Amino acid sequence: MSTATGVRESGPRAPGSGERLAVLTEGLTKSYGDRQAVTRLDLAVPAGRTFGFLGPNGAGKSTTIGMLCTLLRPTGGRALVAGYDVRREPHEVRRRIGLVFQESTLDGDLTAMETLRFHADLFGIPRRRALDAIMDMLELVELVERRHTPVRTFSGGMRRRLEIARGLLHTPRVLFLDEPTTGLDPQTRAAIWAYLGRLREERDVTVFLTTHQLEEAEHCDRIAIMDEGALVVDGTPAALKAVVGSDVVTLRTADDTAAVRAVAEHLGLEATTGEDGIRVRVADGAAWVPRLCAALPVTVHSVTVTPPTLDDVFLHYTGRTIREADSEATVFPGRPIPRR
Amino acid sequence: MTDLRTSALPQDADADEAAEATKAAEATRAAEAADSGARRGRVAADLRAVRVLWQREVIRFARNRLRIAMSVIMPMMFLLVFGTGLNAAVPAEQAAFRDFRAFFFPGVLLMAVQAPAMAAGASIVWDRQAGFLRQLLVAPVSRPPLLTGICLGGATAGLGYAVPVLCLGGLVGVPYRPELLLVLLELALIAFAFTSLGVLVAVCAGRPETFQIVMGLCMMPLLFLSGAVFPASGLPGWLGTVVRVNPLTYAVDALRRTLPGQGVSGLGGRAAGPEWWGWTPPVVAEIGCVAVLAVAALSVATYRFSRGE
């Protein structure tokens, strides 16, 4: 789309503004045999921002994170994290990144304190400084009182918080979070986002997270949408939504096919069918509702008007909602699902 | 220097080339100066990693009370119930067989170290399942110290479990003499070898089920054909070969020859150790075999582990 809106289509791009970059990938590719999990990915993540990497299950997000964190070897292209090449200087990259995995990677037999102390030892933080840093982090994630209980007894939210604390302990430049809120209840989810928000304010750290929940991506400074292993579009959430521009009117009708035809014939609007009925994209959707209902020869069960969301952005660029893409991923097992 | 690295990548390719050259030269000089320091730092980091992993294994064994209880009770059951039963079953006139329990003692020690050492291998499989392993892999340490730390931890735990069993020695007529300290050293090495083997299987197996099946299939026959449970010297041809290539044979025999007291090597001389073409290897050679096995297993495991995806 136009550069004025701040949205960049994938593909060749103009030279950047000279902003510091936390992550840069050029033609990054990972294939397993002849199956491509990530295809020629070009990403530029400015330092100090929260970057949301978004797409349905199996889009290649986790594979990308795996490559950026030096856990998977790219099969093509290159990636720089905090200024270091993931393939040639993995040790330097590891020193500068924190990582919170999709699933819990804590040892239930250890206490929170031991978990963090071990981590500090692995990263070579001197003893005295480590203790201060550990207490700081425990305070940030509000686990000071529980520091001597085994992690086994922690709730899902507490574990996730401890993992974030661990990921930040060695003051990384980039914190990677793979689906940080999956499997958490809404309340904990909100709390995690509050922590991440505070983090951005208090520390100069770039947060790179993946999610397939679009509401969550709204918290990010920038987002990139990925589908089927390739970058679809990236920009600020506002800019991306501005591209879509219009509201979506969703109608549940007795006969969707007839409804689509009628909308096209009588109103000259293009409608699409989805699992929740037919969708019509118009500016000022509420004003269109009476005209739409009048134009339809079939019974209308319900009408919903939604202002543009990131889901619409996804729909706009890929032709399906992220939920549909997710269910496809589970219906067709042949689709590339990143192996770790 | 750091500033250059972390700031944005240069955008202008033409002007960049000259700058690149000077930067490279600078980098070489800096690298040379920093090299010795960095290497020292690397070694320190590796040692720290070994310590962290070792500590973690030890903590895990020390915290698991059920496992501690089990690992102490099991050998005692073998020694007191199984051993006493066999003792009683042998007719009184076969005096040589009367001290079966003493004969069995090295085998029981072996079982005591084996369980926790195997568990260390299992912990790798579970760690992979639970993701903890991946967390270790993104730490800025090289791979070998990670496995070495786990093996040392398993060995320490195994030793910890063997000590109470060794203390029971008096019950079967093993005198409390300074040689027992040598026995402890041998047990530490044997536990380390067991852990390395467990770790090797764990690294290759991938799934917990596979690990358990492989371990179960291997351990039982190896233990039976080591001379730990019955004298292995009188076995027919092909079984004799298995006994001779079985590393546990040497572990058991070394323990038996080091343990003080007459009863242990008893059974009327039937409990003879392995022979190589008519030559009886000394204890040192037997221990050497176990050590070589341990190092080989750990090396292969490390190689497999470091390959990555």
pLDDT at A32 over 60: yes
At A287-313, the pLDDT tens digits run 888 888 888 888 888 888 887 777 778
Distance from CA of A92 to the nearest CA of B (A): 8
A91 CB neighbours in chain B (<8 A) are: 140
Q: What stretches in chain B show pLDDT beneath 50?
A: 1-15, 309
Concatenating the DSSP letter of every residue in B233-290 gives TT--HHHHHHHHH-HHHHHHHHHHHHS-SSGGG-GGGT-----BTTB---HHHHHHHH
Q: Kindly determine whether residue B6 and residue A124, on different chains, have CB atoms separated by under 8 Å.
A: no
Interface predicted TM-score of the whole assembly (ipTM), two decimals: 0.71
Q: Kindly determine whether residue A104 and residue B59, on different chains, have CB atoms separated by under 8 Å.
A: no
At B195-250, the pLDDT tens digits run 999 889 888 887 788 888 888 888 888 888 888 877 776 677 778 888 888 888 88
Distance from CA of A61 to the nearest CA of B (A): 17
Concatenating the DSSP letter of every residue in A181-242 gives TTT--HHHHHHHHHHHHHHHHHS--EEEEEES-HHHHTT-SEEEEEETTEEEEEE-HHHHHH
- Give the span between the Cα atoms of B160 and B218, in whole angstroms: 24
- Give the span between the Cα atoms of A99 and A94, in whole angstroms: 9
Q: What percent of chain A has pLDDT over 90?
A: 19
Please tell me which of the candidates A83, A119, A124 has its beta carbon nearest to residue B6.
A83
B9 CB neighbours in chain A (<8 A) are: 21, 24, 80
For residue B253, which amino acid is it?
D
Q: Kindly determine whether residue A83 and residue B141, on different chains, have CB atoms separated by under 8 Å.
A: no
Position B12 scores a pLDDT of 45
Distance from CA of residue B203 to its chain's centroid? 14
At A257-291, the pLDDT tens digits run 888 888 888 888 888 887 788 888 887 778 888 88
pTM of the model: 0.72
pLDDT at A72 over 70: yes
Nearest C-alpha neighbor of A118 from the set A174, A169, A180: A169
Q: In chain A, which residue's Cα lies nearest the Cα of B13?
A: A15
Distance from CA of B96 to the nearest CA of A (A): 48
Distance from CA of B220 to the nearest CA of A (A): 29
- Give the span between the Cα atoms of B45 and B170, in whole angstroms: 44
* β-bridge partners, A300: A253
Q: Kindly determine whether residue B139 and residue A21, on different chains, have CB atoms separated by under 8 Å.
A: no
Position B8 scores a pLDDT of 41
Position A304 scores a pLDDT of 86
A83 CB neighbours in chain B (<8 A) are: 5-7
Please tell me which of the candidates A73, A99, A107 has its beta carbon nearest to residue B138.
A99
Q: Where are the domains of chain B?
A: 14-308
Give the confidence band of A16 by pLDDT, cuts at 50, 70, 90. very low
Q: Kindly determine whether residue B140 and residue A105, on different chains, have CB atoms separated by under 8 Å.
A: no
Position A131 scores a pLDDT of 92
- Give the span between the Cα atoms of A271 and B153, in whole angstroms: 65
Q: Kindly determine whether residue B12 and residue A340, on different chains, have CB atoms separated by under 8 Å.
A: no
